[in-house]
Structures are given as C-alpha cells and as structure tokens.
Amino acid sequence: MSHNLFNTRQSFKLASGKQASLYSLPALEAAGIGKISRLPVSIRIVLESVLRNCDGRKVTEQHVRELSNWKPNAPRSEEIPFIVARIVLQDFTGVPLLADLAAMRDAAAKMGKDPKVIEPLVPVNLVVDHSVQIDSYNNPNALKINMEMEFERNTERYRFMKWGMQAFDTFKVVPPGIGIVHQVNLEYLARGVLQKDGVTYPDTLVGTDSHTTMINGIGVVGWGVGGIEAEAGMLGQPVYFLTPDVVGVHLKGKLREGVTATDLVLTVTELMRKHKVVGKFVEFFGEGTAALTLPDRATIANMAPEYGATMGFFPVDDVTVQFMKNTGRTADEVDAFESYFKAQGLFGIPKAGSIDYSSVVELDLDSIVPSLAGPKRPQDRIALPKMKETFDTLFSKPIAENGFNQPADKLNTRYATGKDNLKIGNGDVLIAAITSCTNTSNPGVLLAAGLLAKKAVAKGLKVAPHIKTSLAPGSRVVTEYLTNAGLLQSLEQLGFSVAAYGCTTCIGNAGPLREDIDKTITDNNLVCAAVLSGNRNFEARIHPNLKANFLASPPLVVAYAIAGKMNINLDTEPLGVGRDGQPVYLKDIWPNSAEVQTVMKYAADPAVYQRLYSDLTKDLPLWNAIPAPTGNQYQWDDSTYIARPPFFDAAVPKIGDIKGAKALAQFGDSVTTDHISPAGSFKPSTPAGKYLQGHKVEVKDFNSYGSRRGNHEVMMRGTFANVRIKNLMLPPNADGSRIEGGYTLYKGEQMAIYDAAMKYIADGTATVIFAGEEYGTGSSRDWAAKGTQLLGVKAVIAKSYERIHRSNLVGMGVLPLQFKGNDSLASLNLSGNETFDLTGISDNLKPQQDVTLTITRKDGSKQNVALLLRIDTPIEVDYYRNGGILPYVLKELAGG
C-alpha cells in the first residue's frame, strides 16, 4: 500500500484536527484519468480498492484506468480484481471452509512447507447463526431448550471452530446465541473505515451468505459469494468480477401511513425482477432515498439476491453517521468514517442527474401498499386485499402457473388430526415465524409487531396453540428494546416468545411439526401454509410438507397467526372475536406511525450496543465449556461431522475433450441451490441416512445436512437429493405428473442419483447435467458445486446461470456451458439414453469460447450443438487448468 500512483496518496483532516492518509479519488480525477465524480458511488468505492492495491501484478495501472473510465452502457468484457478488506462467514459455509484450510495445511506440510504458510491474509469473522432449530416454542424456556439441543448436536463442529480460532491469527468466531450474521455485521463487525500501514480506507467485504448485501445499507460495498470464492479472497486472491452495469433507482415521495419496510422491499423485489437486474449493481438515489431510515435501507439492501442484483447499495450520509453513533461505534471511529467519505467526495445521497447510471428506474414510495409474497418465490408479490382470492385461485391452477393443481371442491374440506379435536384444512397457517435477517433487524417493523400484539392481547385475541409460533431476533439488542418498550410480554402471550438468535425458519430450521398434523397433511395432500418475515420461500425450504409459504412483515405474521389461515381477506373479514364478543378487524389493532415513533427511542441507545457486544462469551456457559484442541494442524478423528476433504488429493486433471459422457440428470427452469445442495433434514432410507447408520449414528442424531457440511461423505450423498427436485429423465407418473426426489436412470434402472453417480465413476464414465433457465438461483451454497464435482459431473449445460453458482462450478473444476440462441434442453428432445461428447476443450482454453456438444442417439444418429463456455475471465481459465480454485491457491501460497 506504499505506492503513489498518479500522486493519489494524500493526507486528509479529521474533524478532531488529526491528519490521516488516503488514496484520493478527487486526485485521480485531477490527474485526468477519468470523470470519476460522475461515476456511481459503488463503482468509486471499488475503484479506491483497485487504486490502493495496485501492485503491477494482480492489480495493474491498466485496471485503474479501465475502471476510472467506466461507461454506463459499454460491453462488459473487463474483469475487476477487487481486494476486499475483510471476510464474513456463517457457520454452514464457515465450517467446510475451515476444513479446507486445515486440509491445505496438511497438503503444505506434505510438500515439506511450514503449515503456517496457509493463513488468512485479511480478517475473517465467522458468526454461528445457522445451527439452531425451533424444537421448542411458545414457552418461556424455548431459548434455553433450543440452545441446549443445538450444543448437544453441534459440539463436534464447535470444537473444530475453537481449534480454528487458536490455529489461525486472523480467524475470529462470534459464538451461537449472539445473533444473525448480517445484523451482527451491521451493528458490530462493520467499523465504517479501516486503517492499515498508515492508510485509511473504506470497509469492503464478501460474505458466504447471499444476504451479505444487507451491509450495503450503511454504504459498505459487499456481496455474497460461495465459500469457494471467499476462501480465495481470504487467502489474498482478488475477488474477480466483470465490470457491472449500475441501475440507479430514483426513490420519490414517502411511504403512506400503515405501510412497512417489508411492503416496500417486496415491491422493490418485484420491480427489479421485471427490470432484469441479475448480476448488476443497484444504487438508490434521490429525495425518497434520503428520507428512508437506516434500517429501512438495510432491509432493501438485504433482499438484493431476491431481486437478482449483486448489490442494493445506499451511499453514506448523515443518516448513516447517526446510525453508527446510535449503535455504539466510538467517537474516533465515527469521526474517521464521516471525514473520510467527505474527503473522497462520496458523502451524501446523490440527487437526480448528478451521476451517470446504466439505466434509471423510478419508484414513488407513495404507491406502495401492504403486501405479501408467495407462495413459492419472493418476487411474486400479492397486495394484502388480494390474498384470499390469490390463494383460492392458485389452489387449482396447474403447477406450471405456480399453482397447486388441486381439485377446487377440496379447498374448504377440514380433516381431523385425531388429537385435541383439531381439524386442519387447505390454507391453514401451521408455522408463523418472525425470523430472518431481513426483518429481525428493523426496529420499525419489530416494534410494530409488538404494538399490534399488545392491542390484540388487550382485545382478548389469541393464537391457536397448534400453530408453531416463534420469534428469532437478529440480535440480543432486539430483545432488549422490545422489553424496554414493554412489548415483549404481549408477543409472548400470543406465542411469540424468543426461541433463538439465528436464521431458523427462513433457512429450513423450523423444526418438526406435531406428528398428527404432519401425518394429516401428507395423508390428504393438503396445501397448508407458513407465514414468515423471511426473505426466501422456495419449495420445501421452510418445511418439506408445507407447500404454501408467504413472506410478510412481522406485524402481518402476528396477524395471520391470529387469523389461523392465509385465505382470508383481512380488509373485510375479522381476524377473530374479542372477549367482548365483537369481531376484531386488522384495522382495529394496526399501529400507526406515531405509535411506532414513540417507542423507537428504545432501539437507539449506544450503551446497550456497547454492553452487549463488549464481551461475546460472558453469558454463554455452553460455549465456554467446550474444550478447544490446539496445534497448527488439525488432528482428524472419526467424527461424522468433520472429515478431511479430498480436494487436494487428486493429481491435476489433464484438460481436454470429454468423450462418451452420460446424462446424470435433466432439470427444468429455476432449479435452485436448495434443490442441488443438501439442506434441511433427511430420512434413514436416503444414501446419507444409510451412511450415518453404517457409522453407528442413530436416526434421532442425524441433525441437518447443513450442520454436517464439514463431512463430504454425507454431503455428496445429499447432492441433488431434495424431495421436490424433478429429474425429467424419469418417466412421468400415471396421472402425467413428474416423479419428485433425487432419482435417475442408470442403464434403464431407477435409483438414487448418488448411487448412479458412483456406478458411473466405477465404470470410468463421465457425466453431465442438463438444465433450463436460472440454474443455481438462491443461497450461495458452495456444496451445490462441491457435491456436483464429487459425484463425477464434468459439465453442466444450462440455458442460463445464477452468478454465484456459475463461478462456484468453475471454482470446483466443473465446466458451466450455456445453450445459444433457441437451443434448449426441450429442443434437444433427449430420452436419457444418449451418449455425449464435448469438443473444443484444450489447454489453450479461452473465456467465453464455443464448445461443441455432439449427441449420439440410440439409433446411432448424431447431432451437433454449439454451446457457450461460461468460464468468463482469464483467471477462471487458470483455476480450471489447476483443477479448481483451491489447488490453484495452494500452489501459489506453498510455491510448487
């Protein structure tokens, strides 16, 4: 960081009068390098990193010049080497990443090197928030019980994390029970600016959770990457990405009375999806943006993956500075933060016309109405009054139209569960969860939920006891301000007692439903519902047997829990009957903005943040009791949670054409990483279940796939094993519907995809996967790529890819190939017994070149199809040549 390219290393003055240095963007513009002050703010922050980290090797003067001259609508062929300031991990991706680091140390030692050459070169924080499940709910001890069960299930993983903390100098862990990674990042880990070698620079990061973008709300550039990319970034590799388009979103006006940040973000998600912002930066500007609270900005930023953008970015202004003060950052930190952004010309929300964007979208905040999204995708917004009509219509609509394909006359039938005289029916709410980072970080909507609960309790309304209600706050601060505002007790009375500090329901950790309820759903093929304040509602994600899942604001979650069903018009039908025998409508208990504002002061007390974050282990006896192994190398044992990954064992593969391959599976559109990557619970009869039983693990101790991400044997058996995935190679059922679950055909015989993959590997036969549009959307799950590689898949051929999953496939040495023009899986008319050759793959591979797919059919006829190679950048070619990103980095660090 000691160069002075274009005379840009300069000093600047802090408000306190002290001097500090920075790499000056105004000086870069003064040197005539580009019209930098017209660039989007997010691009300028990336440019600062490129300028500061220019070493003439990975980051060159040419990179600085190219990005300084970013054009709003140029073809995007240049890649940016972005060196981030830090890395954030959640535990599901953090554990396998730590296992890879440990295996790299073993590989370095085997090469005769000091294992300590493998060390994160930027600070890494792992926040444990994905492991807690809602087993206990609606009782004052739920939090304690769930944490005890979490520790019982995860002690082996937590011991491994504690080893990592002592083995690596720059690796820190935020223990379980503190909060959700994104809120902890927003409230505590992000410091605004950082200092190293006498230079002040902005906080930037990548994280292994797609919702890392929540941090964009405070002007921090960062986004979600797969664990594979994060590992490279952690070990000093730049994060490479194609120069993006930047879509400016001009927010005007202000939100109407009674409209929440959740309603706003669901509208933004729908709007951005229509504008096709996949892979683009989205940057908010204008007077409507300036008027938003910081938590509202963070809520919109959080949902960037749902609208497909790389980021949903908000520049730094006075609102940001006030938030940093309110959340307990020190006076010196706040001074450095504000002074730095002002010195760089980066302070303030831009006005219309002051920046050149690739395109501009306008949204009038006054047009936003109360909304939900569902039943299967976050971008499918439903205006609140249309909820009943939408559910009832979708009930009988075909699956292809997002419906449930059920006979209309079944809609209103009730079915006895055989317990407590309980009957359930289609549309019934069975899970109501205030969960996930999107909303459990926003005091506006959480206090509104508390106020609504208080009014509901006062009127004598209740939530039926069979509904699984839970409150999983984003951090301990939330519990504190709900308690101080006198609202937690009312939430508890309706069943929403604090059950965990973690992602819980939104990532599939809703825990089991009551057995009699579960059985009634499956026996009668019911379309029952979950309502959650989360950001994801893909099929089988929330609970394998709940087919309708709706995203809603926390106050609406409470309201629907009281109503007990989703197919109700809350504008015209009562939620229930009060203790005075009169019907109570939603409007009777909905809090107004003045009421919310009155209690907002409880969420802005710096002393609370400082106290709760000053000592992270003080109130965590379960964590403190776990013994930590020591040493620079991990002593692997026979744990079924942690196993040494095999990614450094094989010789570097020879690059060349793939001949005689078979299709392992053929999928349709919108196959998500939830479908591909092992997630949630699994049955004893699955390959993963059989493996664990073979290792003396009882069924009750299976835990979830996510908790076993540190063991590749379990994970590869769960890849493509989702209960809702549909392999189009399988013949349809008698009624024309598709067989669901991870099955395929091997020589005409139906079996689990894992079993078939092992047979193909034994035969020495390469395999390929075919897919439709948007292959790999959803969470940044590295196991979707790691599992694909371990199953022997050499290439995926799809109509289009989600950004992170495409890059993860390359990072694991699997070729992502894309259909061109009108070609698609459907147009190829494959039966499943063809043989495939992929030619044009050689050692002098070029990014985005053509590859030829030759299909040989059963009758001997051949067909050639041109495919686009989606190895997008030169560095990705290097990764592929080395068998993936991990062997490449090992070779670079250990020198050989």
Mapped onto helix, strand or coil, the DSSP state of residue 689 is helix
Give the model's confidence band at 802: pLDDT under 50 very low, under 70 low, under 90 confident, else very high.
confident
Q: In what order do the strands lie in the sheet with 548-551?
A: 381-383, 371-373, 548-551, 529-532, 429-434, 468-471
Q: What is the mean pLDDT of residues 286-304?
A: 97
Contact 771, 671 (CB under 8 A): yes
Domain 658-675+727-894 homologous superfamily, CATH: Aconitase, domain 4 (3.20.19.10)
The secondary element (H helix, E strand) that includes residue 463 is: none
- Per DSSP, which regions of 753-861 are E strands? 767-770, 793-798, 815-819, 835-839, 850-856
Q: What distance in Å separates the CA atoms of residue 814 and residue 876, rounded to the nearest whole number?
A: 11
Per-residue pLDDT tens for 540-597? 889 989 999 999 999 999 999 999 999 999 999 999 999 999 999 999 999 999 999 9
Per-residue pLDDT tens for 76-110? 878 899 999 999 999 988 899 999 999 999 999 99
> What confidence score (pLDDT) does residue 780 get?
60
Q: What distance in Å separates the CA atoms of residue 884 and residue 229, rounded to the nearest whole number?
A: 11
Per-residue pLDDT tens for 110-157? 999 999 999 998 999 999 999 899 999 999 999 999 999 999 989 999
Q: Is the dihedral of CA 35, 41, 47, 52 positive or negative?
A: positive
Give the model's confidence band at 227: pLDDT under 50 very low, under 70 low, under 90 confident, else very high.
confident
Domain 244-314+349-368 homologous superfamily, CATH: Aconitase, Domain 2 (3.40.1060.10)
> What confidence score (pLDDT) does residue 652 get?
82
Domain definitions of the chain by residue range = 5-82, 244-314+349-368, 371-604, 658-675+727-894
Q: What distance in Å separates the CA atoms of residue 148 and residue 155, rounded to the nearest whole number?
A: 10
Per-residue pLDDT tens for 855-889? 999 999 999 999 999 998 888 999 999 999 889 98
- Model confidence at 384: pLDDT above 70: yes
173: DSSP letter: E
- Model confidence at 23: pLDDT above 60: yes
Letter string b/e over residues 236-275, b meaning 16 or more CB atoms within 10 A of that residue's CB? ebbbbbebbbbbbbbbbeebeebbbbbbbbbbbbbbbbeb
Neighbours of 598 (CB within 10 A): 13
Q: What distance in Å separates the CA atoms of residue 218 and residue 314, rounded to the nearest whole number?
A: 7
Mapped onto helix, strand or coil, the DSSP state of residue 653 is coil
- Model confidence at 1: pLDDT above 70: no
Cα 438 to Cα 26, 174, 210, 508, 836, distances in angstroms: 35, 20, 12, 16, 44
- Model confidence at 896: pLDDT above 60: no
Q: What distance in Å separates the CA atoms of residue 743 and residue 635, rounded to the nearest whole number?
A: 37
Neighbours of 512 (CB within 10 A): 14
Helix 606-614, helix 318-326: angle, nearest 10: 60
- The residues near 261 (Cβ < 8 Å, ≥ 6 apart) are 293, 295, 296, 299, 300, 439, 442, 444, 445, 553
Neighbours of 571 (CB within 10 A): 15
Mean pLDDT, the chain, rounded, equals 94
Neighbours of 121 (CB within 10 A): 14
Q: What distance in Å separates the CA atoms of residue 102 and residue 96, rounded to the nearest whole number?
A: 10
The secondary element (H helix, E strand) that includes residue 266 is: helix 261-274
- Using a pLDDT cut of 90, give the percent of the chain over it: 86
- The residues near 473 (Cβ < 8 Å, ≥ 6 apart) are 179, 434, 440, 446, 479, 482, 498, 501
Tokens representing residue 419 in the block? 């317990």
Q: What distance in Å separates the CA atoms of residue 657 and residue 770, rounded to the nearest whole number?
A: 18
> What confidence score (pLDDT) does residue 125 get?
97
Per-residue pLDDT tens for 499-543? 999 999 988 889 999 999 999 999 999 999 999 999 989 888 899
Question: What is the rounded end-to-end Cα distance, in angstroms, of the chain?
Answer: 27
Rounded to 10 degrees, the C-alpha dihedral 11/313/873/826 comes to: 180
- Model confidence at 626: pLDDT above 70: yes
Tokens representing residue 826 in the block? 């459907």
> What confidence score (pLDDT) does residue 321 get?
98
Per-residue pLDDT tens for 416-446? 999 999 999 999 999 999 998 878 879 999 9
- Whole-model pTM above 0.85? yes
Mapped onto helix, strand or coil, the DSSP state of residue 620 is coil
User: How far is Cα of residue 201 from the mean position of the Cα atoms in its chain?
Assistant: 27
Domain with residues 371-604, CATH architecture? 2-Layer Sandwich (3.30)
- Model confidence at 803: pLDDT above 70: yes
Q: What is the mean pLDDT of residues 805-815?
A: 93
Give the model's confidence band at 676: pLDDT under 50 very low, under 70 low, under 90 confident, else very high.
very high
The secondary element (H helix, E strand) that includes residue 539 is: none
Tokens representing residue 115 in the block? 């294992």
